[in-house]
Structure 1
Amino acid sequence: MMSSLPPEQLLLMLQGLVRDAPALPSGERLGETEARWLGRADALLSAFGQVNQVVSFRVARENLGTIRHDRNSLMQPLFDALSHLELLVPAELQGAFIRAGDTWNGYAALVQIVQRECKSLFIVDPYMDASVFLDLVPHMVASQSIRLLTARQPPLLPALVAASNKWNGTKDRTTPDVETRLAPSGRLHDRLIIVDGNDAWLVSQSLKDIAKKSPASVTRADVELAKLKAAAYDELWLESRPVA
């Protein structure tokens, strides 16, 4: 039963549903894509168990294509459910959408993830630079193992190598050593933070550039996708070589 899903998974599904909401313009016939989206929305609201939201959604759905057609009335129950779920789910499990230029909240969203107590942190970013050791690694004091995987970017590599060597050569700190590797050419595309090998966060931009020029998002992957990502990048890690 969908109702057995934990609140954080329902929240993740609802966030995706709202993000993918079709335009539903008045006067146009619904296609298969719109019909399937409406079905998923009804099922998800029913799983959440708020009867008033389900009823409001179904009334607005029945009015589509009539003189009472109102997309806002259709979306409002989804926004209400989203707000209720956000109250049930710990902030560190919610993810974030960051508007363009809001680099502080972009940075804060990343810190919120990496400062959690865990056995391992695995960060993947093809455009990683030395700033990761200044901005994020010091917040990883509660992690027992830290891995960084990036791609060879000649302009960024010397400073990254220097920062890695400097960090691992400093002994008066509580954060563990950080192992940094370079993936084989052309193999790295995602930007991820993987916690304990089963909790993956998808970052829409490179960590050093998050929200600088365009909106960014930090989204928690669903359980199955997280497992697939973690397994794939563990394999790629074994094929990668340490920075020199």
Structure 2
Amino acid sequence: MTPTTTRAQNNPMVNKHTISPEQLLALLEAAIGEAPAFTYEEELTEKEIRWLGRVDALLDASGLMSAVVNFRTARSSLGTFAHSREKILIPLYDALSHAELQVPLSMQGAFIPPGDTWNGYAALVKIMQTPCDHMMIVDPYLNSDIYTYFAPHCAAGNGMRCLTVKRSENHSGLLASGLKWAADKISEANSVEVRYASAKALHDRLIIIDSRESWLVSQSIKDIAQRSPASVMRAEAELGRMKAEHYEELWKKSTHVTA
């Protein structure tokens, strides 16, 4: 047995026959959303090193060798004069684009170029307009924009639940908007509830529909595509269900937004 064969058998991420296009798509989307800063002239942290290793395995599993080569070249250049976070991310977006072609149309989302904030907004609104019983928004950087620009479009019969983290720059806006929304007639047909999870509990940006369908958003809703490329992608069914269950439990432990 060759070393390559042993590696492929021991690491399912490398074996291209053990990962479905849907799983690959969801994992690439998650990796893009979790991409570290890779600050120039700073030592790589353990978290950054682990991310680089995970992405290398994902790209290898994708079978897109040009992305693998370009990623490894960019990785080896970190900390040198050729240091570039953009060149680290480009191979991931290449692999993501190829993976999108392999999944059913119902799972395909949207890729939004930097600066195209209108289409970023439109992609999110389209998902929120999905008829359903209830909807949960998970975003650690949520602000009052959720009331102004998104909640009016929510088609959930039982309203929208929003799970975020308390931040001083966003708290007063969320509190004031929540009180104003609740006092208006619009809340009778379209309720919105915002809760705070513990400071380090949220690691995703998600739109969860009826606790069964999860859409992965690569950036915080308020910043979608403002400065860098963004994507909105439906998670593979099992991953989506697991995330929905996880955040449903967090919701039960979260606290209401109060003064």
TM over 0.5: yes
The aligned counterpart of 1:137 is: 151
1:174 deviates by: 6.0
Alpha-carbon separation, structure 2, partners of 1:99 and 1:199:
25
Gaps of 5+ in 2: 1-19, 32-56, 65-93
Whether 1:148 aligns to 2:162 is yes
Query: Residue 199 of structure 2 corresponds to which residue in structure 1?
Result: 185
1:82–1:94 CA distance, 2 compared to 1 (3 A)? closer
CA distance in 2, matches of 1:200, 1:211: 20
Unpaired stretches in structure 1, ≥5 consecutive residues: 1-9, 21-31, 40-74
2:233 to 195, 213, 219: 219
TM-score, with normalisation over the residues of structure 2?
Answer: 0.62
Matched AA of 1:191: R
Counterpart CA distance in 1 for 2:27 and 2:245 is 26
The alpha-carbon deviation at position 95 of structure 1 amounts to: 0.8
1:96 aligns with 2:110: yes
TM-score (norm 1): 0.65
Report the Cα distance in structure 1 between the residues aligned to 2:174 and 2:213, rounded to whole angstroms.
26
- Give the corresponding residue for 1:109: 123
Q: Which amino acid aligns with 1:178?
A: V
Contact 1:121–1:196 (Cα < 8 Å) also in 2: yes
Q: 1:147 to 1:16 in 2, by over 3 A?
A: closer
Calculate the aligned-residue CA RMSD, in Å. Answer: 3.1
CA drift at 1:188 = 1.4
Cα deviation digits, residues 78-126 of structure 1 (max 9, x gap): 96x966x78x735xx4211100000000000000100010001000001
Q: Distance in 2 between matches of 1:161 and 1:184?
A: 17
Residues 1:121 and 1:98: Cα distance change in structure 2 (over 3 Å): same
Between the aligned partners of 1:200 and 1:102, the Cα distance in structure 2 is 23
Q: Which one-letter code corresponds to 2:136 in the other structure?
A: F
Aligned residues: 183
Q: Match of 1:128?
A: 142
1:149 Cα deviation after fit:
0.6
CA distance in 2, matches of 1:161, 1:17: 34
Query: Deviating runs (4+, > 3 A) in structure 1?
Result: 10-20, 32-39, 172-175
* % identical aligned pairs: 42
